[in-house]
């Protein structure tokens, strides 16, 4: 090889590197890691959505990474924060969001609402208020939308229509009727009116629908240890005595499926799982959760949060969230996942409309959205939740009197609140 | 390294300075790979945890609070309950694992038809993923529909509530026998005992395999000598097998205790599946909440890292103390084949 | 007369072993049976024992629910890698603890043992930070190295080494045998049983680990089989037949491994002709 050609090759390669280097710099998209919780088929569905986003937005590349269940994801986020390297985007369960917010690791979504790429007035009116409420946290005394709602599920009642019809009973719409149904359908050791894994959710539902409250206004004390709370606990005792089967974990699903229990109350998302196991035994009935002096149901959700990252990344992250929150995507996600749409317009989408005609659960869900309320969402809530859950269990299993259990739980709650403040 | 025995021997008697240095460094060189990994990934975390435990620490470092977290945790009745549950859990699992493990190993050691298949079936539980097998055991012990209660009802007995039962096992036994059990002596809840049963089932294969390994250490000649002396099987077991297995037994009791202190997966899977996730573990009524589960809850559900780490440090020292105690007490009675003679 | 007596004990032993085996394998058998049922049948009360119709598709459906092919490869790499590291680190360390006298031995041994008392959950976050600093996140190193040594194996091998006759080393030493040769040529073959147990248990432990691989990896190319099992448990329910099918094929390789390792559990010192 001559000297000349070596020089030539040298210059050429320099030029080439410069060219491709520059091109690569211009072309390299903003990479956003998205840590999520959707396992199995839902995970695939989410990945498909993200792929569509990526192909429509050449400047941004969202990388979905499955992180197991909510606890595992939280552990990973904790570790990542300790290592000073949180993901740009993560799906956060309500339970943990309060912690992230308290420690200032999330960028409040509301900051983007009024920005140049913000939400239009129509957009805002279209968002389901309940969905926004789940995503709203107390930020230095001001209610702020901190995360972007993605999944909503709420408490509904499942029933066996054949069993009710056979006994000539109507679908209960109040807690009194509910109690009557439980009593009438109970056959000793053979059939139960209601299958229930004792938890805090039914207690909250009953308390709220009878006008009770969990806490006082400034969140300094428990307010459930009053006449209404006692009435609720007594009602639970009555339910158990009248023919409620106490189950463990998800076992209530089996009792319902095998026509050993007529009623159950749980999240609307359970429907798909029950129906998969139901076979051709009967047609599963879904109705709104019964009412007390007013209507109430607990609603849950998971949302996407943007972690504290630089402007460019956070803008890109918001771009993605805005996209996935558009009617088309919301409808698509809801149709595969069984979670409720976060926008009203999605209910009008052909995809959902079609489903609504055959799927009563969606109609029930839409109706329930109007009065559903989230669980409390401050940092100390999970701890208090556990205390109340113990009280409910003790009462359900007949190990404590309602008075005793309520007093205990209230004492614990007050102590936890005192420590938290 | 050195195949020439002659050179080697000379060196042994007239060590060169290099050789002397190597001899001095040798034990540490041999320890180095393990020490590097163990200290970095297994000891450093507890030191770091100790540092965190002195702070108010959620997701991020907060202010230093001294021993505040320790004071708080020691004042929490639930912490002491969880420790008691842990001891119950250890006491209901470890002795059974040791006893059954040794029994199975002795039965599986000699020549017997189908031995390989038997061994496989005793080891299988240990490798089965807990998430799947916890579900199956949940079905077996289900109050309403479980196979066990089915049999009990068929025989006309009253079916226990198993995983749902927070009442102490001694109280239940006392009720059955018509004896009143005084406060404080209730024993572990039936729910915890149920989990212990599944735990023993899961881990006994592990103990069996290690006992099998211990049995291979017994020289054939010993058995033959015993046979000539006309010793029966029980005497062979009592005077040969048991003493020779004593180091294995000590080892397994230490390892088993540590393991019992650290196992929460099964408890989590079998009692924590209630809807709503957070704070739902340790049911019923916290009677299955062992110390590590308590720590786990504060760590990963309530995100009170400083407080949780204080618990972790306390637990660390409790386990360390117990292990050293076991080795000290049992150590003197352990018989090593290589010793004496 | 004598032949009759021997037969009796054999029958008794078989009886004991067989009934034990039934209890031990029952949940396991149940798992396999459930994996062959339809969802509605798996949920039936009272449960059916044998599947009414064999749904073999559960296995193919389970296999396709996650990239199990890749996961299997990763799990094998992880488990083999960890096992090799553990064997190396624990053989050298336990030999040192059992055969050589040195300063600080007691303290070091206690420190080593102390590492056993640290629950994995506690070390999660500090280790994550360390891995980040090392640049090992989502790599093969983070799956193997942190568990490439454990006090359990060192402790166990030390017990085995201590069981070797003391005068054996003295004799070898006088023959001009150094520590390294002695360890490799004489001591190690004699504790073969313990070594194979450690290999087996390390492999199983590594194969079954879930939390650490989940936290320390993010891409499919590093994820392991246990992570794949998560695909069947979701927020409000579990697909039991698929979960059971997947669990069955996840444990199959370990069962096969056990079948081969167990041979070593009878060919220990008993056949080596060493006299104490």
What is the structure's pLDDT at B337? 56
Mean pLDDT, residues A364-379 taken together: 94
What is the structure's pLDDT at A115? 87
B9 CA to centre of own chain: 46
Q: Hey, are the CB atoms on B33 and C155 less than 8 Å from each other?
A: no
Mean pLDDT, residues A387-408 taken together: 93
Mean pLDDT, residues B54-70 taken together: 92
For residue A92, give the 3-state DSSP assignment: strand
Query: Is the CB of B48 inside 8 Å of chain C's CB atoms?
Result: yes
What is the least distance, in Å, from the CA of B171 to any CA of chain C?
A: 28
Judge whether residue C13 has pLDDT over 80: yes
- Per-residue pLDDT tens for C23-49? 999 888 888 999 999 988 888 877 888
Closest-approach residue (CA) in chain A for C222: A65
Closest-approach residue (CA) in chain C for B135: C240
Q: Hey, are the CB atoms on C180 and B107 less than 8 Å from each other?
A: no
Q: Of the ranges B172-186, B270-284, B322-336, C255-269, which is most confident?
A: B172-186
- Per-residue pLDDT tens for B313-324? 999 999 999 998
Cβ atoms of residues B162 and B143 within 8 Å: yes
More confidently predicted of B166 and A159? A159
Weakest-pLDDT range from B88-92, C9-13, C231-235: C231-235
Weakest-pLDDT range from A376-380, C82-86, C227-231: C227-231
What does the alpha-carbon distance between residue A204 and residue A206 come to, in Å, rounded to a whole number? 5
What is the structure's pLDDT at B60? 87
Closest-approach residue (CA) in chain B for A103: B59
What is the structure's pLDDT at B279? 41
Judge whether residue A383 has pLDDT over 70: yes
Judge whether residue A35 has pLDDT over 80: yes
What does the alpha-carbon distance between residue C111 and residue C105 come to, in Å, rounded to a whole number? 10
Q: Which helix (H) or strand (E) holds A126?
A: helix A121-126
What CA–CA distances, in Å, run from C190 to B213, C92, C110, C160, C165? 12, 15, 26, 9, 11
Percentage of the residues of chain B whose pLDDT score is greater than 90: 43
Weakest-pLDDT range from A202-206, B195-199, C157-161: C157-161
Q: b/e per residue, B129-153, with b = 16+ CB within 10 A?
A: bbbbbbbbbbbbbbbbbbbebeeee
What is the structure's pLDDT at C18? 92
Q: Which helix (H) or strand (E) holds C206?
A: helix C192-208
What is the structure's pLDDT at A221? 95
Paired sense of beta strands A244-246 and A297-307, if any:
unpaired
The CATH superfamily of B86-331 is MetI-like (1.10.3720.10)
Structure tokens at A299: 């609603």
What is the structure's pLDDT at B5? 43
In whole numbers, what is the pLDDT of chain C averaged over residues?
Answer: 87
In whole numbers, what is the pLDDT of chain A averaged over residues?
Answer: 90
Interface test with C, best of A32, A36, A39, A64 (most C CBs within 10 A): A39
Q: Hey, are the CB atoms on C43 and A83 less than 8 Å from each other?
A: no
More confidently predicted of C154 and C270? C154
What is the structure's pLDDT at B265? 84
Q: Which fold has domain A25-153+299-374?
A: D-Maltodextrin-Binding Protein; domain 2 (3.40.190)
Q: Hey, are the CB atoms on A201 and B276 less than 8 Å from each other?
A: yes
- Per-residue pLDDT tens for C193-227? 889 889 999 999 999 998 899 999 988 899 999 98
Specify the DSSP class assigned to residue A275.
H
Q: How far apart are the first and last CA of chain B?
A: 32
Q: Which residue bears the tokens 């929490």? A: B76
What is the structure's pLDDT at C274? 41
What is the structure's pLDDT at C5? 53
Judge whether residue A165 has pLDDT over 90: yes
Judge whether residue C269 has pLDDT over 50: no
Cβ atoms of residues B131 and C226 within 8 Å: no
What is the structure's pLDDT at A10? 57
Q: Hey, are the CB atoms on A249 and B274 less than 8 Å from each other?
A: yes
How many CB atoms within 10 Å of residue B155?
7
Weakest-pLDDT range from A84-98, B198-212, B229-243, C124-138: B229-243
Question: In which band, very low, low, confident or very high, does the pLDDT at B264 lie, cut at 50, 70 and 90?
Answer: confident
C-alpha triplet C107, C112, C114: angle, nearest 5°: 95
Cβ atoms of residues C78 and C86 within 8 Å: no
* DSSP result, A185-241: H-BTTTBEEEEE---HHHHHHHHHHTT--SB-TTSSSB--SSHHHHHHHHHHHHHHH
Residues whose CB falls within 8 Å of the CB of residue A111, separated by 6 or more in sequence, listed in order? none
Specify the DSSP class assigned to residue C118.
S
C-alpha triplet A234, A236, A240: angle, nearest 5°: 120
Closest-approach residue (CA) in chain B for A79: B59
Closest-approach residue (CA) in chain B for A405: B285
Judge whether residue A6 has pLDDT over 80: no
Q: Hey, are the CB atoms on C93 and B316 less than 8 Å from each other?
A: no
Judge whether residue A3 has pLDDT over 60: no
Q: Which of residues 263-292 of B touch A (CB under 8 A)?
A: 271, 273-280, 283-286
Weakest-pLDDT range from A396-405, B173-182, C56-65, C140-149: B173-182
CB pairs under 8 A between B and C: 303
Judge whether residue A26 has pLDDT over 60: no
| φ, ψ for residue B251, nearest 5 deg | -55, -50
What is the structure's pLDDT at B280? 52
ipTM of the complex: 0.88
Cβ atoms of residues B141 and B163 within 8 Å: yes
What is the structure's pLDDT at B144? 75
What does the alpha-carbon distance between residue B258 and residue B299 come to, in Å, rounded to a whole number? 20
Residues of C in contact with A66 (CB under 8 A): 227, 230
What is the structure's pLDDT at B9? 47
Residues of C in contact with A43 (CB under 8 A): 231
Which residue among A251, A385, A394 sits closest to B278, beta carbon to beta carbon? A385
Cβ atoms of residues A160 and A269 within 8 Å: no
Q: Hey, are the CB atoms on A386 and B164 less than 8 Å from each other?
A: no
Residues of B in contact with C207 (CB under 8 A): 127
What CA–CA distances, in Å, run from B303 to A288, B57, B84, C34, C85? 34, 9, 24, 38, 34
Strand partners, A306: A89, A107
CATH code, domain with C250: 1.10.3720.10
Strand partners, A303: A92, A149
Weakest-pLDDT range from A206-220, B231-245, C144-158: B231-245
Query: Is the CB of B65 inside 8 Å of chain A's CB atoms?
Result: no
Domains A25-153+299-374 and A154-298+377-420 share a fold: yes
Mean pLDDT, residues B110-133 taken together: 85
Question: In which band, very low, low, confident or very high, does the pLDDT at B14 lie, cut at 50, 70 and 90?
Answer: low
Pick A154-298+377-420's CATH classification: 3.40.33.10, 2.60.120.650, 3.40.190.10, 3.40.1410.10.
3.40.190.10
CB pairs under 8 A between A and B: 100
Weakest-pLDDT range from A9-13, A77-81, A310-314, C143-147: A9-13
Residues of A in contact with C214 (CB under 8 A): 67-68, 72, 76
Judge whether residue A12 has pLDDT over 60: no
* DSSP result, A362-374: HHHHHHHHTTEEE
What is the least distance, in Å, from the CA of C215 to any CA of chain B?
A: 14
What is the least distance, in Å, from the CA of A152 to any CA of chain B?
A: 14
What does the alpha-carbon distance between residue A91 and residue A38 come to, in Å, rounded to a whole number? 9
Question: In which band, very low, low, confident or very high, does the pLDDT at A131 lie, cut at 50, 70 and 90?
Answer: very high
More confidently predicted of B328 and A203? A203
What is the structure's pLDDT at A20? 45
Question: In which band, very low, low, confident or very high, does the pLDDT at C12 lie, cut at 50, 70 and 90?
Answer: confident
Interface test with C, best of A40, A269, A271 (most C CBs within 10 A): A40
For residue A139, give the 3-state DSSP assignment: strand
Judge whether residue A15 has pLDDT over 60: no
Question: In which band, very low, low, confident or very high, does the pLDDT at C3 lie, cut at 50, 70 and 90?
Answer: very low
Which residue among C20, C89, C162 sits closest to B104, beta carbon to beta carbon? C20
Q: Which helix (H) or strand (E) holds A66?
A: strand A60-66
Residues whose CB falls within 8 Å of the CB of residue B13, separated by 6 or more in sequence, listed in order? none
Question: In which band, very low, low, confident or very high, does the pLDDT at C91 lie, cut at 50, 70 and 90?
Answer: very high
What is the structure's pLDDT at B112? 82
Judge whether residue B152 has pLDDT over 60: yes
Judge whether residue B282 has pLDDT over 70: yes
* DSSP result, B157-196: PPPP-GGG--SBHHHHHHHHHT-PPPTT---SBHHHHHHH
Residues of A in contact with C218 (CB under 8 A): 33, 35, 65, 67
Q: Which helix (H) or strand (E) holds A306?
A: strand A297-307
Cβ atoms of residues C234 and C150 within 8 Å: no
Which of B315, B311, B288, B316 is CA-nearest to residue B298? B311
Mean pLDDT, residues B70-76 taken together: 96
Judge whether residue B277 has pLDDT over 50: no
- Per-residue pLDDT tens for A59-68? 999 999 999 8
What is the least distance, in Å, from the CA of C219 to any CA of chain B?
A: 22
Strand partners, A31: A61
Q: Which helix (H) or strand (E) holds C81?
A: helix C68-99
What is the structure's pLDDT at C133? 92
Mean pLDDT, residues A399-416 taken together: 95
What are the sequence ranges of the domains in chain A? 25-153+299-374, 154-298+377-420
The domain tally of chain C equals 1
Interface test with B, best of C15, C17, C75 (most B CBs within 10 A): C17
Q: Hey, are the CB atoms on C215 and A76 less than 8 Å from each other?
A: yes
Mean pLDDT, residues B208-216 taken together: 87
What is the least distance, in Å, from the CA of C244 to any CA of chain A?
A: 15
């Amino acid at each position: 090889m001559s000297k000349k050609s070596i020089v030539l090759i040298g210059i050429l390669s320099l030029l080439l590197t410069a060219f491709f280097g520059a091109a690569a710099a211009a072309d390299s998209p903003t990479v956003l890691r998205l840590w999520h919780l959707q396992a199995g088929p839902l995970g695939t569905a989410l990945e498909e959505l993200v792929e569509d986003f990526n192909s429509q937005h050449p400047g941004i590349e969202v990388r979905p990474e499955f992180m197991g269940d909510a606890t595992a994801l939280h552990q990973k986020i904790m570790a990542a924060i300790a290592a000073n390297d949180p993901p740009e985007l993560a799906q956060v369960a309500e339970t943990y969001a309060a912690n992230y917010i308290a420690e200032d690791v999330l960028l409040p979504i509301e900051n983007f609402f009024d920005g140049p790429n913000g939400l239009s007035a129509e957009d805002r009116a279209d968002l389901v208020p309940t969905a926004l409420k789940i995503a709203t946290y107390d930020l230095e005394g001001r209610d702020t939308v901190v995360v972007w709602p993605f999944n909503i599920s709420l408490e509904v009642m499942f029933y066996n229509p054949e069993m009710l019809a056979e006994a000539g009973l109507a679908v209960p719409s109040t807690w009194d009727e509910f109690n009557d149904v439980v009593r009438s359908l109970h056959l000793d050791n053979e059939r139960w009116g209601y299958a229930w894994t004792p938890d805090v959710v039914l207690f909250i539902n009953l308390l709220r629908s009878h006008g009770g409250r969990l806490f006082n206004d400034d969140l300094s004390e428990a307010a459930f240890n009053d006449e209404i709370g006692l009435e609720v606990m007594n009602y639970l005792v009555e339910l158990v005595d009248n023919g409620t089967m106490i189950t463990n974990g998800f076992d209530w699903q089996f009792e319902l499926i095998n026509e050993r229990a007529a009623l159950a109350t749980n999240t609307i998302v359970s429907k798909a799982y029950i129906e998969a196991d139901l076979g051709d035994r009967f047609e599963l009935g879904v109705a709104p959760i019964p009412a007390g002096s007013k209507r109430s149901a607990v609603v849950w959700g998971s949302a996407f949060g943007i972690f504290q990252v630089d402007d460019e990344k956070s803008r890109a992250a918001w771009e993605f969230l805005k996209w996935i929150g558009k009617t088309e995507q919301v409808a698509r996600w809801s149709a595969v996942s069984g979670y409720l749409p976060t926008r009203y317009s999605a209910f009008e989408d052909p995809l959902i409309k079609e489903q609504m005609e055959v799927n009563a659960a969606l109609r029930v869900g839409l109706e329930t959205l109007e009065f559903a309320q989230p669980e409390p969402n401050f940092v100390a809530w999970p701890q208090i939740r556990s205390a109340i859950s113990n009280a409910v269990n003790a009462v359900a299993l007949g190990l404590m009197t309602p008075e005793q259990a309520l007093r205990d739980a209230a004492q614990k709650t007050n102590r936890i609140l005192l420590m938290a403040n | 390294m050195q195949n020439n025995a002659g050179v080697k021997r000379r060196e042994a008697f007239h060590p060169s300075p290099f050789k002397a240095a190597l001899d001095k460094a040798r034990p540490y060189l041999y320890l180095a790979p393990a020490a590097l990994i163990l200290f970095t990934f297994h000891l450093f975390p507890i030191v770091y945890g100790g540092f965190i435990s002195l702070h108010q620490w959620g997701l991020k470092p907060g202010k230093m609070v001294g021993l505040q977290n320790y004071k708080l945790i020691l004042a929490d009745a639930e912490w002491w309950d969880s420790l008691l549950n842990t001891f119950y859990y250890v006491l209901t699992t470890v002795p059974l694992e040791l006893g059954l493990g040794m029994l199975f190993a002795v039965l599986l050691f000699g020549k017997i038809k189908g031995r390989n298949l038997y061994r496989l079936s005793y080891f299988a539980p240990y490798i089965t993923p807990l998430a799947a097998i916890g579900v199956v055991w949940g079905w077996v012990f289900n109050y309403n529909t479980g196979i066990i209660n089915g049999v009990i009802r068929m025989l006309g007995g009253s079916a226990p509530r198993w995983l749902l039962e927070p009442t102490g096992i001694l109280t239940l036994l006392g009720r059955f026998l018509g004896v009143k059990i005084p406060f404080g002596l209730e024993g572990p809840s039936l729910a915890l005992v149920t989990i212990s049963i599944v735990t023993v089932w899961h881990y006994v294969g592990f103990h069996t395999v290690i006992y099998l390994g211990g049995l291979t250490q017994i020289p054939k000649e010993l058995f033959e000598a015993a046979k000539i002396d006309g010793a029966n099987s029980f005497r062979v077991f009592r005077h040969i097998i048991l003493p020779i297995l004593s180091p294995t037994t000590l080892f397994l009791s230490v390892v088993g205790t540590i393991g019992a202190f650290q196992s929460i997966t099964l408890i989590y899977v079998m009692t924590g599946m209630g809807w709503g996730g957070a704070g739902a573990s340790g049911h019923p009524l916290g009677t299955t909440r062992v110390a590590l589960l308590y720590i786990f809850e504060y760590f990963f559900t309530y995100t009170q890292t400083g407080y949780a780490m204080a618990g972790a440090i306390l637990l660390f020292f409790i386990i360390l103390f117990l292990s050293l105690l076991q080795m000290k007490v049992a150590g003197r009675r352990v018989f090593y084949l290589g010793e004496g003679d | 007369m004598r032949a009759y007596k021997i037969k009796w004990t054999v029958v008794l032993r078989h009886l004991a072993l067989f009934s034990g085996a039934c209890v031990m394998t029952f949940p396991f058998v149940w798992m396999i049976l459930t994996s062959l049922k339809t969802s509605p049948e798996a949920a039936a009360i009272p449960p059916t024992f044998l599947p009414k119709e064999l749904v073999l598709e559960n296995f193919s459906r389970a296999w396709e629910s996650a990239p199990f092919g890749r996961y299997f490869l990763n799990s094998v790499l992880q488990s083999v890698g960890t096992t090799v590291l553990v064997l190396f680190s624990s053989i050298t360390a336990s030999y040192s603890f059992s055969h050589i006298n040195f300063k600080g031995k007691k303290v070091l041994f206690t420190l080593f043992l102390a590492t056993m008392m640290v629950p994995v959950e506690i070390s999660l976050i500090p280790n994550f930070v360390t891995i980040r600093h090392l640049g090992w996140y989502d790599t093969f190193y983070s799956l193997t190295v942190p568990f490439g040594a454990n006090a359990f194996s060192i402790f166990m091998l030390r017990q085995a080494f201590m069981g070797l006759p003391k005068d054996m080393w003295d004799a070898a030493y006088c023959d001009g045998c150094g520590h390294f040769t002695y360890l490799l040529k004489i001591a190690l073959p004699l504790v073969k049983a313990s070594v194979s147990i450690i290999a087996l248990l390390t492999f199983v432990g590594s194969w079954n680990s879930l939390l650490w691989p989940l936290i320390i990896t993010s891409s499919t190319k590093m994820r392991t089989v246990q992570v794949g099992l998560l695909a069947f448990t979701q927020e409000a329910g579990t697909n039991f037949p698929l979960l059971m099918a997947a669990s069955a094929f996840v444990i199959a390789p370990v069962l096969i491994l056990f079948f081969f390792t167990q041979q070593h559990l009878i060919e220990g010192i008993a056949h080596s002709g060493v006299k104490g």
